[in-house]
């Protein structure tokens, strides 16, 4: 497999001979206002440009959208993705919304969803705690498996929770992508993983490589790559947890 960190949660993944695009958020730097009721409200999203042209990012076989928040599926993605491309959604509700955007081949990830020989399974998550987590709505992760590939688990927009623990136990992934950044509102707990959640993920899967995505691209993400890397250095975890730059590719 090959995983390219594009920007925010947007990834390109070559797996079992298939080119996947995950969570396309493709607008130019500063195209959208900050998220409401968040820190750094003077900063517009996305905070940085894409490392490659958006037109290039959308050249994939299949696109998977873990949930419909703007920083995972935006207007530029809706415009640039070919309307005939196969899209995979977490729920019938999300799929209906994507069909309303003009996409003609939208499937809900189910018990036997395959693209070629790659099996795609949906996992659950919690996009925050308590009332905020409820308000964030349903979110999902995905697990990709193929006879000749190591198992890949992309946890999606979730904090560390029993859903993540259960997914690691069930699928025994060798590569795990988590969304770090510790995004938060002015009140309440983070809605994405922070340092301790990422560390916890590693403890649950000590033999897996944990890759941290969703960093330094939207205004309410407060954990920086530098702070996280310093933490990993202190803990001696730099060979188990990796924080790629935008545009960086990793092969396994």
Beta strands in 136-208 (DSSP E): 140-145, 152-154, 175-179
Cβ closest to Zn ion, residue 69 vs residue 146: 69
Query: Checking DSSP bridges between strand 10-15 and strand 2-7, what pairing results, if any?
Result: antiparallel
Q: Using the rule CB under 5 A, which residue among 94, 149, 157, 246 binds Zn ion?
A: 157
Interface with Zn ion (CB under 5 A), residue total 2
* Binding flag, residue 246, Zn ion (CB under 5 A): no
What is the nearest approach in angstroms of Zn ion to the Cβ of residue 183?
A: 7
- Give the separation between CA 177 and CA 153, rounded to whole angstroms: 6
Cβ closest to Zn ion, residue 93 vs residue 233: 93
* Binding flag, residue 163, Zn ion (CB under 5 A): no
What is the nearest approach in angstroms of Zn ion to the Cβ of residue 73?
A: 10
Cβ closest to Zn ion, residue 16 vs residue 128: 128
What is the nearest approach in angstroms of Zn ion to the Cβ of residue 150?
A: 25
How many CB atoms are closer than 10 A to CB 102? Answer: 10
Cβ closest to Zn ion, residue 157 vs residue 216: 157
* Binding flag, residue 23, Zn ion (CB under 5 A): no
Quote the Cα angle for 140-193-127, to 5°: 40
Q: Using the rule CB under 5 A, which residue among 7, 13, 63, 71 binds Zn ion?
A: 71
What is the nearest approach in angstroms of Zn ion to the Cβ of residue 235?
A: 25
* Binding flag, residue 216, Zn ion (CB under 5 A): no
- Residues 35-41: contacts with CB under 8 Å, at least 24 apart: 35/185, 35/218, 35/219, 35/220, 37/185, 37/186, 37/187, 38/183, 38/184, 38/185, 38/186, 38/219, 38/220, 39/184, 39/186, 39/219, 39/220, 39/222, 40/219, 40/220, 41/219
* Binding flag, residue 74, Zn ion (CB under 5 A): no
Cβ closest to Zn ion, residue 74 vs residue 157: 157
* Residues near Zn ion (CB under 5 A): 71, 157
């Amino acid at each position: 497999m090959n995983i390219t960190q594009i920007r925010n949660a947007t990834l390109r993944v070559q797996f079992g001979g298939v080119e996947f695009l995950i969570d396309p958020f493709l607008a130019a730097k500063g195209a959208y206002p900050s998220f409401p009721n968040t820190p750094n409200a003077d900063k517009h999203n996305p905070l940085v440009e894409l490392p490659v042209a958006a037109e290039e990012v959308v050249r994939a076989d299949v696109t998977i959208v873990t949930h419909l928040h703007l920083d995972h599926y935006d207007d530029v993605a809706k415009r640039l993705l070919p309307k005939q491309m196969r899209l995979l959604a977490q729920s019938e509700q999300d799929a209906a919304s994507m069909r309303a955007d003009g996409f003609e081949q939208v499937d809900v990830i189910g018990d036997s969803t395959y693209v070629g020989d790659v099996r795609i399974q949906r996992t659950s998550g919690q996009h925050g705690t308590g009332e905020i987590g409820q308000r964030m709505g349903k979110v999902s992760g995905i697990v990709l498996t193929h006879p000749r590939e190591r198992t890949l688990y992309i946890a999606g927009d979730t904090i560390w929770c029993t859903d993540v623990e259960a997914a690691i136990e069930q699928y025994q992934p060798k590569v795990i992508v988590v969304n770090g950044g510790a995004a938060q509102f002015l009140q309440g707990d983070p809605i994405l993983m922070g340092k301790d959640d990422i560390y916890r993920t590693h403890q649950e899967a000590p033999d897996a490589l944990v890759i941290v995505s969703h960093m330094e691209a939207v205004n309410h993400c407060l954990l920086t790559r530098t702070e996280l890397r310093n933490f990993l250095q202190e803990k001696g975890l730099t060979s188990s947890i990796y924080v790629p730059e935008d545009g960086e590719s990793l092969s396994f």
